[in-house]
Chains A and B, each alone.
Chain A
Amino acid sequence: MPYRERAAWLALCAMGLPFTGYFVWVIAAPPTAAMPDWSTFTRFGVAIALQIAIWSLGTLWLRRRHPEDAAAPLDERDLAISRRSIQTGYSILFAVTCINIGCVFPFAQGGWKLINVGLASIVLAELVRNSAVIWLYRRGFHG
């Protein structure tokens, strides 16, 4: 498995696990307190801290296990897959943001709902980008 694919799996787990927990909580018990709501902010902070911890420790572990692959510069295939995955992730981010701002929240809603929808858009785009990296490495990509 290429190193970049391993890194994408790690990023997927680092973002997916903490934020799944965060959004399950947001959906099950939507924040209703007036802003600033420090309990909601704390939960978000925990999710971010977990993401950073998982990603940092995982990256260190990967670099120790595969030092040569980690040090190798990106080759043409890595760059092509990176470009295509960023394109895919950005398209998702753009589409979801436009739908939310243009249709779901037509300048009439705000607060935690808007913030969490925005966060969800970013998380979804990143999950799609890393999934695209994994898919392209596994199934093949002809540029």
Chain B
Amino acid sequence: MTQADLGARVGVTRQTIAAIESGKYAPTLETAMRIAEAFGKRVDEVFFWQVAP
């Protein structure tokens, strides 16, 4: 699946998907859930929180 395909499924642009992947943008909860659904995973399996050292 390309970034453009995922973006089309989720309802955002390819650039937004790229920004999410590079950590430049945090998606809304709804978009995060849609992304997880597109991959057939749970949200916490796709997104994770790193505590700053």
Sample (26) of A-B pairs whose CB atoms are under 8 Å apart: A2-B13, A2-B15, A72-B13, A75-B11, A75-B12, A75-B16, A76-B16, A76-B27, A76-B28, A76-B31, A77-B12, A77-B13, A77-B15, A77-B16, A77-B19, A78-B13, A78-B16, A139-B24, A140-B19, A140-B22, A140-B23, A141-B25, A142-B25, A142-B26, A143-B25, A143-B28
The 4 closest A-B pairs by CB, nearest first: A140-B24, A75-B12, A142-B26, A2-B15
B interface, over-half SS: loop
Give the size category of A's interface with B: 10 to 19
- Are A75 and B13 closer than 8 Å at their CB atoms? yes
| Cβ–Cβ < 8 Å partners of A78 in chain B | 13, 16
- Are B12 and A76 closer than 8 Å at their CB atoms? yes
**How far is B11's CA from A14's CA once the two chains are assembled, in angstroms?**
31
- Are A77 and B11 closer than 8 Å at their CB atoms? no
- Closest A-chain residue to B4, C-beta based? A68
Rounded to whole Å, the gap between the CB of A141 and the closest CB of chain B is 6
Taking Cβ atoms with an 8 Å cutoff, the residues of A that contact B are: 1-2, 69, 72, 75-78, 139-143
19 more A-B residue pairs beyond the given contacts A75-B13, A77-B25, with a C-beta to C-beta distance below 8 A: A2-B15, A69-B13, A75-B11, A75-B12, A76-B12, A76-B27, A76-B28, A76-B31, A77-B13, A77-B19, A78-B16, A139-B24, A140-B22, A140-B23, A141-B24, A141-B25, A142-B25, A142-B26, A143-B25
**How far is B15's CA from A2's CA once the two chains are assembled, in angstroms?**
6
**How far is B47's CA from A142's CA once the two chains are assembled, in angstroms?**
14
Rounded to whole Å, the gap between the CB of B20 and the closest CB of chain A is 9
| Cβ–Cβ < 8 Å partners of A140 in chain B | 19, 22-25
**How far is B15's CA from A100's CA once the two chains are assembled, in angstroms?**
40
Rounded to whole Å, the gap between the CB of A6 and the closest CB of chain B is 11
